[in-house]
Chains A and B, each alone.
Chain A
Amino acid sequence: DTGVSQNPRHKITKRGQNVTFRCDPISEHNRLYWYRQTLGQGPEFLTYFQNEAQLEKSRLLSDRFSAERPKGSFSTLEIQRTEQGDSAMYLCASSFPSDTQYFGPGTRLTVL
């Protein structure tokens, strides 16, 4: 399968715990994006990488959130001290510049 993959697909955690999600983009894509989607809403942009450089972060990305893309390949999104308001679907997408973004299946986070 050469599509975008995300792991885990589902994560249930208790408030205050740390969680980490992984995204593996399409191998030749140099752009990688993270979005967050809550129920009944469209996805909202969180952050963007070009190769290994994180070039833009949304104000939605509080200090508890951190994202990395070492070596310009896979990316991780970590949420520290989770809150119930962090419950959402976290989506990853990859692309070439000025080209179609391809999305992964998402990681659904539930914070109890």
Chain B
Amino acid sequence: KQEVTQIPAALSVPEGENLVLNCSFTDSAIYNLQWFRQDPGKGLTSLLLIQSSQREQTSGRLNASLDKSSGRSTLYIAASQPGDSATYLCAVYSGNTGKLIFGQGTTLQVKP
């Protein structure tokens, strides 16, 4: 059974700092991995999708990496801003249906 874990559960950093969020999964036979952002009481916004054949994806100040063999993904946020404050969720695509298995999320606070 696929399980996804995110560490840390919460993180507080000063504005401008570079940071790394971690995601690990137990079954390396994944299709894709997706990172999402969720603001309080809101739905999920897709940040990056990494296909199983890829090692990393970049979008602006965000860079996500994938190491299937070790069951790990990281989300790197450069030059953090207060507007980056949110919960970040990692999810693994499972099986032919493409259903997502989510971690519990990392809640990030960027202080001005």
> A residues engaging B (CB < 8 A)?
6, 31, 33, 35, 40-45, 48, 50, 55-56, 91, 93, 95, 97-106, 108
Interface of B is mostly: strand
Q: Is the CB of B44 within 8 A of A103?
A: yes
CB distance from B74 to the nearest CB of A (A): 17
Could you tell me the distance between the alpha carbons of A101 and B36 in the complex, rounded to whole angstroms? 10
Could you tell me the distance between the alpha carbons of A95 and B32 in the complex, rounded to whole angstroms? 13
In the complex, how many residues of chain B place their beta carbon closer than 8 angstroms to a beta carbon of chain A?
25
Interface of A is mostly: strand
CB distance from A16 to the nearest CB of B (A): 26
Could you tell me the distance between the alpha carbons of A81 and B98 in the complex, rounded to whole angstroms? 30
Known contacts: A40-B104, A98-B32, A108-B41. The answer to whether A56 contacts B46 by CB under 8 A is: no
Could you tell me the distance between the alpha carbons of A106 and B41 in the complex, rounded to whole angstroms? 9
Other-chain residue from B43, B91, B99 in contact with A104 (beta carbon distance below 8 A): B43
Inter-chain contacts of A97 with B (CB < 8 A)? 98
